[in-house]
Amino acid sequence: MDFLPVKRALLSVTDKSLLVEFATFLVQSNVELVSTGGTKRLLAEAGLPVTPVSAVTGFPEILGGRVKTLHPNVHGGVLADKDDPEHMKTLDEHGIKPFDMICVNLYNFAEAANKGLELRQAVEEIDIGGPTMLRAAAKNFHSILVVPGVKHYPAIMDEMRASQGKIGLDLRRRLAAETFGMVSEYDRMISDYLGSHTA
């Protein structure tokens, strides 16, 4: 689709700068917020209506937070092609609601690596769910907006204001391309770190 109405967003961010302002704009634009962990707590403390991701998955966060969003009720809603009637029928059959925006930034592994942590401690700072959601949303940019960083908030708000809550295909494509590049760099950093440390 050329113009995507943004009605449901999943926010899960490490960098929480300007998050409340961005989320407030989304709520004022009638966007439903779904969130995880510390992001959800911050939004709730700011008085914003937010649904915990566990209410979407029907399953609590487990393994010390390693597993939060890795669930069909999340990824079905991210990966569904909204232009494909069969995809939308499948969502309906399974009671899965589509997402229109995924706003994620990743655990700061570079900071963890620079702390001189033991290898086993350092790997706990490797983000799994974040890159998975980012890649899924970037792949499906025809149907969803991926937001890989705080610097994009102003452009997104400007476009939604100008287009009555919608995001054009060109911005979705450009952010998808940036997302794949960012995730690639993140993986390279981890690869270099693991390659230079002994178990």
Reported as a single tens digit per residue, the pLDDT across 134-177 is: 999 999 999 999 999 999 999 999 999 999 999 999 999 999 99
Structural domain count, the chain:
1
Q: What pLDDT, on a 0 to 100 scale, did the predictor assign at position 154?
A: 97
Q: 155-164: per-residue pLDDT in tens?
A: 999 999 999 9
DSSP per-residue string spanning 126-156? --SHHHHHHHHHHHTTTT-EEE-SGGGHHHH
Q: What pLDDT, on a 0 to 100 scale, did the predictor assign at position 192?
A: 87
* Residues 6+ positions from 167 with CB-CB distance below 8 Å: 3, 4, 6, 101, 145, 156, 159, 160
Residue span of the structural domain in which 74 resides:
3-195
Q: What pLDDT, on a 0 to 100 scale, did the predictor assign at position 86?
A: 97
Nearest Cα residue to 148 out of 101, 98, 113 = 101
User: Can you give the CATH number for the domain in which 112 is found?
Assistant: 3.40.50.1380
Indicate the pTM of the whole model: 0.91
Is 1's pLDDT higher than 80? no
Nearest Cα residue to 81 out of 93, 69, 89 = 89
- Map residue 8 onto helix, strand or coil: strand
**Amino acid type, 173:** R
Q: 85-140: per-residue pLDDT in tens?
A: 999 999 999 999 999 999 998 877 777 777 777 788 888 888 888 899 999 999 99
Share of the chain above pLDDT 90, in %: 69
Cα–Cα distance between 52 and 155 in angstroms, integer? 27
Cα–Cα distance between 117 and 62 in angstroms, integer? 23
Tokens of 37: 């962990």
